[in-house]
């Protein structure tokens, strides 16, 4: 899968969380990975959930974002987002990701594409309307309420990264139905 350049990656979790919130993506602070388990970033003590706040507390409020990601501690929290009314995600297997990203239509109407190195799929972030199902076994719509780590979040030795950054997509999400149409078109060509 193609990758983004380092200059498209946020430099700190606080900066990233503020940028994502400004895009209207709800963010919530996440635990860090330490000694093979999720841990509180303040003191590295084990936690039972990757979320440091209740999931329904996800926010786009910059003051709250600053408060959450500026708390003192050994590490800054990871940045998580949640699919919902204004943000959807489609997971796409590696075999189809490059075909979509390299397609001439997608190059004129990109959407952010999230990946975690070592995983055989990527997440295309979209906005409603989003179809319930897709015409390919290589792609599926993630349920509302699914959480995703956003760059520069790290779990173990794997860091979330952008294949297509929000900036490269003009800070705009593609409509989910349009991505579904492109997947349908590519599925017909491969059949």
pLDDT in tens, 22-66: 999 999 999 999 999 999 999 999 999 999 999 999 999 999 999
What is the DSSP code string of the chain?
A: -----GGGS-SSHHHHHHHHHHTT--EEEEPEEETTEEE-TTT--B-SSSBSS-GGG-B--HHHHHHHHT--SSSPPEEEEE--SS-EEEEEEHHHHHHHHTSHHHHHS---EEE-TTSSEEEEEEESS--SS-S-TTEEEPPTT-EEEETT-EETTEE-EEEE-TTTTTT-PEEHHHHHHHHHHHHHHH-
Q: What's the pLDDT score for residue 3?
A: 45
Q: Does residue 7 carry a pLDDT above 60?
A: no
pTM above 0.75, yes or no: yes
pLDDT digits (tens, 9 = 90+) for 94-129: 999 999 999 999 999 999 999 999 999 999 999 999
């Amino acid at each position: 899968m193609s990758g983004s350049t380092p200059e498209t990656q946020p430099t700190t979790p606080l900066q990233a969380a503020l940028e994502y919130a400004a895009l209207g993506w709800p963010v919530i602070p996440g635990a860090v990975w330490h000694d093979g388990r999720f841990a509180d970033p303040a003191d590295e003590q084990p936690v039972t959930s990757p979320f440091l706040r209740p999931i329904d507390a996800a926010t786009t409020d910059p003051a709250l974002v600053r408060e959450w990601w500026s708390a003192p501690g050994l590490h800054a929290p990871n940045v998580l987002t949640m699919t919902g009314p204004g943000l959807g995600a489609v997971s796409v297997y590696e075999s189809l990701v490059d075909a979509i990203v390299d397609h001439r239509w997608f190059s004129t109407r990109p959407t952010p594409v999230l990946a975690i190195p070592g995983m055989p799929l990527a997440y295309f972030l979209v906005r409603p309307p989003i179809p319930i199902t897709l015409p390919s076994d290589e792609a599926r719509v993630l349920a509302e309420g699914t959480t995703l780590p956003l760059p520069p979040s790290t779990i173990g030795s794997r860091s979330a990264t952008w294949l297509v950054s929000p900036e490269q997509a003009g800070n705009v999400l593609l409509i989910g139905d349009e991505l579904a149409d492109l997947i349908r078109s590519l599925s017909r060509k491969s059949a």
